[in-house]
Amino acid sequence: MKRFKVGFRPAAGADLIALYDYIADEAGENVAGAYIARMEAACRGLANFPHRGTPRDHIRPGLRTMGFERRATIVFQVMESEVVLVRIFYGGLDYETALLRGIED
């Protein structure tokens, strides 16, 4: 089985930091750290199963989304040998409109 490299675009990294800060303010640093750790593990899991989630080819070829713990949407693009995490949206934000408008980095 082919193993893909997993990388984060700057916007996805910034999304993780903002999400950590938000959760830490609301529920504490331990809860925030655990949540982000689980999310990062799910993202790293794309190395073995890159085609999970829902295709969003109408936005961009190869783009997919994957729900995370019913509160977040992870947006990623499957390339030839790499999975690129594009954005992470939390709390029901309209990821489709943001992506169609080109709000990525």
Which domains occur in the chain, in start order?
Answer: 5-100 (3.30.2310.20)
Pairing of strands 72-78, 82-90: antiparallel
How do residues 12-46 score in pLDDT, each as one tens digit?
A: 999 999 999 999 999 999 999 999 999 999 999 99
Helix (H, G, I), strand (E, B) or coil at 14: helix
Nearest CA to 86 among 2, 10, 4, 5? 10
pLDDT confidence of 105, banded at 50, 70, 90? Answer: very low
- Rounded distance, CA 9 to CA 14, Å? 9
Q: Which two tokens stand for residue 68?
A: 């995370």
The number of helix segments (H) and strand segments (E) in the chain equals: 3, 5
* pLDDT tens digits for range 40-99: 999 999 999 999 999 999 888 889 999 999 899 999 999 989 999 999 999 877 778 777
Task: Provide φ and ψ at 23, rounded to 5°.
Answer: -65, -40
Contact 88, 39 (CB under 8 A): yes
